Amino acid sequence: MTDAHALPVSYSSEVAAAKANGVPVVALESTIITHGMPYPGNLEMAQSVEEIIRSEGAVPATIAVINGNLHIGLEPSELEALARTSDAMKLSRADLAFAISEGRTGATTVAATMIAAARAGIHVFATGGIGGVHRKAEESFDISADLEELSRTPVIVVSAGAKAILDVPKTLEVLETKGVPVVTLGQDDFPAFWSRSSGFKSPLRLDSAERIAAFQHMRESLGIAGGMLIGNPVPEKDEIPAGEMENYIRQALTNAGEKGIAGKAVTPFLLSDIYYLTEGRSLTTNIALVENNARLAAKIAVALAA
């Protein structure tokens, strides 16, 4: 065994102050910025989401690796530079440490953001959609590392559900197998990202941030480790109904198959193809739902701290 090496980690000034003063912090991922949306919409989204978290009485910590440093919270200039970067790595559990040991720049997925958040003592994290079991996973074996991470790392992940580019029932099945609670806010159906309903029932339902915090406290009292997934339906005025999305999704999946897209390139390819197919409308919905998730995540962080 070699000696343990110190982790090069930098806290933003805002996050350092929040930690010192016991102000609740909400983690944010960065893959959504570098691989999920085009510039400048990605930067506008990232800034507005941070602002929403502040307006709810919490502090945002956008997480990324910049030149081998693990950043817990980005200064405004760092956030802007990341949003303009075109060659950042997409980092999950497998390669987060690699980017740090090799001095690289990379954006964190849900899995990698959870690892960094937990290490920094942050309990709540807002994103858009999680990775999951892809359609035809029985052939491709493509199941996101996000699911395994949810089972082991104690962070509450607030999402707008799972994109219909995934196989939603298989994704819910794997989460159940791994003992990950899936809670939908305010409705019985699990949401499908751009659409409020996936057509599949959510395993659990709660109607407020306070009840979600109470549930998490009870899990801790029982000594149950691991994360929790919250499904927060996109606001009605911003949704694209599931029937309409299905056509675009099928087309994007066909295009990915013809181009032989595989591995970690699959999700970014589908997201950008759907952006073109919907003539940018998917992006407007995507931004609205991340903002909605940031607001709920901040409320949960405040309720957990109360």
Closer residue to ligand PSU in complex, CB, 57/241? 241
Residues 115 and 83 sit within 8 Å (Cβ to Cβ): no
**Beta-carbon count within 10 A of 271 CB:** 22
Interface with ligand PSU in residues 223-242 (CB under 6 A): none
Q: Which of 19, 90, 163, 299 is catalytic?
A: 163
Pairing of strands 124-126, 25-28: parallel
* Position 34 contacts ligand PSU (CB under 6 A): no
Q: By the 8 A CB rule, do 298 and 24 touch?
A: yes
d(CA 259, CA 255): 6
Pick the closer one to ligand PSU by CB: 92 or 232: 92
- Report the C-alpha gap between 294 and 279 in whole angstroms: 25
Q: Report d(CA 186, CA 194) in Å as an integer.
A: 17
Q: Should residue 109 be labelled a site residue for ligand PSU when binding is judged by CB under 6 A?
A: yes
User: Which of 14, 142, 239, 273 contacts Mn ion by CB under 5 A?
Assistant: 142
Among 24, 128, 181, 233, contact with ligand PSU (rule: CB under 6 A): 128
SS3 content of the chain, % helix, strand, coil (to 5): 50, 15, 35
Site membership for ligand PSU, residue 36 (CB under 6 A): yes
Contact 7, 68 (CB under 8 A): no
Pick the binder of ligand PSU from 19, 163, 196, 299 (CB under 6 A): 163
Closer Cβ to Mn ion, 60 or 131, answer by number: 131
Does residue number 298 form part of the binding site for ligand PSU (CB under 6 A)? no
146: contact with ligand PSU by CB under 6 A: yes
**The binder of ligand PSU chosen from 12, 42, 62, 144 (CB under 6 A):** 144
Neighbours of 229 (CB within 10 A): 28
Q: Considering CB distances under 5 to 8 angstroms, the limit depending on partner class, which of ligand PSU, Mn ion, none binds residue 125? A: none
Instruction: Indicate if 29 belongs to the active site.
Output: yes
Minimum Å gap between C-beta 289 and Mn ion is 21
Q: Which two three-digit tokens encode residue 181? A: 């609670």
Verify whether residue 176 is a known catalytic residue: no
179-193 in b/e form (b: 16+ CB < 10 A) is ebbbbbbebebbbbb
24 is in the binding site of which of ligand PSU, Mn ion, none (Cβ under 5 to 8 A by kind)?
Answer: none
Shortest approach of ligand PSU to residue 210 CB, angstroms?
27
Query: From CA 275, how far away is CA 249, in angstroms rounded?
Result: 10
Applying CB under 6 A, the residues found at the interface with ligand PSU are: 29, 31-32, 36, 92, 109-110, 128-131, 144-146, 163, 193, 264, 267, 271
Residue numbers annotated as active site? 29, 163
